[in-house]
Amino acid sequence: MSVTVKVPAKVNLQLGVGPLRDDGYHDLVNVFHAVSLFDEVTAAHGPLAVTVAGASIEGVPAGPDNLAARAARRLADHLGREADVRLHIDKAIPVAGGMAGGSADAAAALLACARLWEADVPFETLLDLAADVGSDVPFALFGGTALGLGRGERLTALPCEGEFHWVFALADGGLSTPAVFAECDRLRAAFEQEAGWPHESPELLAALTAGDAKALGAALGNDLQPAALSLRPSLGRTLAAGREFGALGGLVSGSGPTCAFLAADAGHAAELAAALDEADVARALVTATGPVPGAHVLS
């Protein structure tokens, strides 16, 4: 018997970063949006093991350090049982790309193991266990479009009308999330910028409610973008090319280096992806739509 769970990537439509807290984290205002780029995680009975397949999986640990294995152990601890599960990850979400691929696999593993072990775990409990594994893990269970406060893990669903069309410019190599936050703190100190308390953007929330892609494009924002650009200056060219080719908006996704561009419709997204490909400003271009549901069992 095995259980397969499909889980989406995310893009942050807004990422507001507050001052560094005493515990080393930042207060965040995160507007998460799940998009149609998916990993699949299959769980089967056996001793704890992780295997990974996919076109671009460099840097993904196949073993106990994989976030999916950590999630399985967290659920097993909660249930007071052994984490005896073989996990196989089919990866399409870019690795270390700012699209929360590892967190997605962790969320999928929680759901797959609960089903495999025939454990009746309430969704709220799964969200709590997910938050123990990592700040972005609960959203991968939640899906859709949501506001994440605290470290990003306190979620509220946001109304979002219709479907948005995205182009993702994938970069060579990843960026470490802690390194990007550290660079954000360094830049703020160097330029004596006082980080204020972050607030959700009213323009962004109104654009989502109205399903207005043009207004959403204008309201996208990421406080980590200057830090990602500082560590990876070539992203400046990618963002400029997106603007030049008519994207409704563009930003670095999360901690980067993936860049996300909003298009008016599916045709516009295909044209934009082709133009960016031609301009040679990314390793690869993928189109996707959002919002999509969170992790769910396929079979």
| Nearest distance from C-beta of residue 184 to ligand ATP, angstroms | 13
Task: Output 121 or 137, the one with its CB closest to ligand ATP.
Answer: 137
Question: Active-site residue 10, yes or no?
Answer: yes
Residue with nearest beta carbon to ligand ATP: 102
Question: Active-site residue 91, yes or no?
Answer: no
The conformation of residue 135, written as its DSSP 8-state character, comes to T
What are the C-alpha distances in Å from 38 to residues 50, 75, 164, 294?
18, 22, 17, 10
Catalytically annotated residue among 10, 39, 91, 105 = 10
Distance CA 221, CA 223 (A): 7
| Nearest distance from C-beta of residue 93 to ligand ATP, angstroms | 7
Instruction: List alpha helices for the chain, DSSP H.
Output: 67-79, 101-116, 123-133, 137-142, 177-190, 202-210, 213-219, 225-231, 235-244, 266-279
Task: Output 19 or 64, the one with its CB closest to ligand ATP.
Answer: 64
Are residues 239 and 252 in contact, defined by beta-carbon separation less than 8 angstroms? yes
Task: Output 95 or 275, the one with its CB closest to ligand ATP.
Answer: 95
| Nearest distance from C-beta of residue 162 to ligand ATP, angstroms | 25
Q: Measure CA 107 to chain center.
A: 12
List, in order, residues 6 or more apart from 27 with CB less than 8 Å away. Answer: 18, 19, 21, 149, 150, 151, 197, 198
| Nearest distance from C-beta of residue 212 to ligand ATP, angstroms | 26
Catalytically annotated residue among 6, 39, 105, 136 = 136
Task: Output 95 or 213, the one with its CB closest to ligand ATP.
Answer: 95
Query: Using CB under 6 A as the criterion, which residues of the chain lie in contact with ligand ATP when the complex forms?
Result: 59-61, 66-68, 89, 95-103, 105, 136, 174, 177, 254-255
Q: Annotated active-site positions, please?
A: 10, 136
